[in-house]
Homo-oligomer: A and B are copies of this chain.
Amino acid sequence: MQKLSARNILAGNIKEIRKGATTSHVLLDIGGATLTASITNESVEELGLAVGKPAYGVIKASDVMIGTD
């Protein structure tokens, strides 16, 4: 698969991985801000994710909310 309909593909570097029983939290540094993804442990292994490696945060537009002060 080369292209994806998800509107948001944010490039960054993995800064932390917290493994749970079935679910891991992957923290991505995207230009200073931190993006946290909750994904399956299988995905962490299959993608070979590790601290320091580059990765993308991928988010469907319908999953993004807008907030204001």
Q: Is the CB of A1 within 8 A of B65?
A: no
Q: Are B37 and A65 in touch, CB under 8 angstroms?
A: yes
A1 to chain B, nearest CB (A): 4
Interchain CB contact under 8 A, B66 and A58 = yes
> Would B69 and A65 count as touching, CB distance under 8 A?
no
Chain A contact surface mostly: strand
Within the complex, which residue of B18, B23, B46, B69 is in contact with A1, where a contact is CB–CB below 8 Å? B69
A9 at the interface (CB under 8 A from B): yes
Encoded as 1 (CB less than 8 Å from any B CB) or 0, chain A from 12 to 52 comes to 00000011111111101011110111111011101111000
Q: Which residue of chain B has its CB nearest to the CB of A11?
A: B33
